[in-house]
Amino acid sequence: MTSSQATARNERHISPEIIFNAARAEVREFLVPLDSLGSAQYKRIIGRYTAGVGSNFVNWLAAGTVSSRSLEARYATAENAFIEIRDDHPRMLRDFAKLSGAEPEADDYRYAQSQANRVQAEVSTMSGVFIISLVGTLENVSLDYIPWLGAISKRLGNNNMRYVDIHGEADIEHATQFHWALEREAALYPEPEPLMKAGADAAVGFIGALLRSDA
């Protein structure tokens, strides 16, 4: 790469911080005040979220581990997948839904999987930078929506916030971890910005479809 090419590359560079902060701002827009929702909407939101995230997130982490070019991105996804599997976070999420009286129904699974299939079609291209942006965005936006889900669950009568508390602590560390993982992964691609943006957009679209009360 020539010096002029490097300069042009730096001028159009989009940092992980910009990507993740923009995604968090977008997600906060559809976390509506809880007083504007009813019990049926509370249950639908938790049911769809449980069906969508519980069935797909670990698979996408695994895809990141095997497709990433950088050691840092491989480590971030592998370490996150290890914790998800070791501590059985999918079961923890199902328990959270059950205690909320919002276990997913067949319609929730069908809807959530239709949304996940769109993301999976992109994940299947095995682009490391896309997948790291995807899962990194999911980790970062969870800092905003996990407390919101906890507040919904409390309104449904659940006082066991184990899922919320554990993810509140862990996701801060993991969200930070994906900042440097995406930076290192992107550095190994000649034109990473479109894939970084696409991964973040896919994550926001997926979470939005699960959490928006009007979806």
pLDDT in tens, 5-16: 433 444 357 899
Q: What pLDDT is stored for residue 14 in this prediction?
A: 85
Write the DSSP symbol of residue 36.
G
Cα–chain center distance at 98? 22
Dist. CA 99–CA 149, nearest whole Å? 13
pLDDT higher than threshold 80 for residue 165? yes
Q: In this structure, are residues 211 and 31 in contact, taking their beta carbons and an 8 Å threshold? A: yes
pLDDT, mean of residues 187-191: 96
Residues 141-154 pLDDT 10s: 999 999 999 999 99
Write the DSSP symbol of residue 128.
H
- Percentage, residues of the chain above pLDDT 90: 87
Q: Which residue has the tokens 């507040």?
A: 151
Give the pLDDT band (50/70/90) at residue 1. very low
Q: What pLDDT is stored for residue 152 in this prediction?
A: 98
pLDDT, mean of residues 74-85: 96
Dist. CA 167–CA 53, nearest whole Å? 13
Strand, helix or coil for residue 187 = coil
Residues 166-184 pLDDT 10s: 887 656 777 889 999 999 9
* Structural domains of the chain in order of their starting residue, each with its CATH number: 16-211 (1.20.910.10)
What pTM, to 2 d.p., does this model score? Answer: 0.92
Dist. CA 120–CA 106, nearest whole Å? 20
Average pLDDT, the chain: 92
pLDDT higher than threshold 50 for residue 2? no
Dist. CA 143–CA 28, nearest whole Å? 10
